[in-house]
Structure 1
Amino acid sequence: MSFKTITDSALVCEKGSESTLLKVTSQQYSKIKGMLIATEKDKDFPVNILPFGRCGILRNSCKCKPTVWQKTLKSKINNNAKLGKDSFILCDVGGKIEFKDTGENNFSKSESSNSSIFNSIPEKSTEELEEEQSNKIEEEKGNITIILMLLFLISLVFGVLYYKLSSVDQ
């Protein structure tokens, strides 16, 4: 079982001299305890990932070049996999960036990662169930709006046809 990662979770680079915090910008609505849930799109330097101080490879200030997040979770937000406590990303300069459990990260218990050997069905937390229900409601609202628009257009077409046919009889 893995843990979801939220904004302001501590990150460390094995080649950096300082830890930093992850900033979530990939989405603005999925939250746990008021904090945004991180996704695989949260990888831009210096927007999502701030400098790690002095780089042990460059022997200068951090010039992080993140690649692709690994060990992401199975569930997604906007077709982007959620990040978990075990997720990590490699830097093209040479370091490995991962989450550091400081005890303050407030990781939320959730689901297994994509890299899991077993294909188990994770238990869903209350937050996940509420998120799913909210997404379904929004989708249903959109579908209802489309149906109402189609009904309006159909009634408009029939109204025009009725008007045309009634004016032909006179």
Structure 2
Amino acid sequence: MKWKRYLPVEANATVLRRGFVALTAFSLVCSLSFFNAYARALPGIEQIAVSFPGVQMPPFSLLLGPSLYGFWVSALAMVPLAGYFWALHTRLSHSVYLMRRLPDRWELARRCLTLPVLAALFFLGLSLALWLLDFAIYWTVTPDRFLPSSLWEALWS
């Protein structure tokens, strides 16, 4: 896929690519907080279970905490990027007037919105995939005697 056709003429593709990689790395580092919380909770619950039988692992939502915030922040960061693309057309080259006169009237919107929308969908999709992966780890690795009684109770309580 030719990414240049979805960028404003003045946009620097290398800088945008580096920014996308940096936001992805930031989001993935933030998502590691779930593993930190889980690694602290599991040995602690095993020690407490000796004195208090019937104790349960903290709910998944509590362990998840802010681990997916990085993805949501990255997705929201695409809104100013779309505004920046619009500003490149209107302020720097004034090509917005030419873009509006093209036979394809959606060319300006395509150049300003396609990559930010795709990037936001990527971050939200990755957030959903990691949420499912984190829950699968929570449900399969935690010993059965420490799990809540139902799957839904573990997920939403």
Higher strand proportion (structure 1 or 2)? 1
TM-score, normalisation: structure 1: 0.30
TM-score, normalisation: structure 2: 0.32
Larger Rg: 1
The structure whose RCO (Cα within 8 Å, separation 6+) is larger is 2
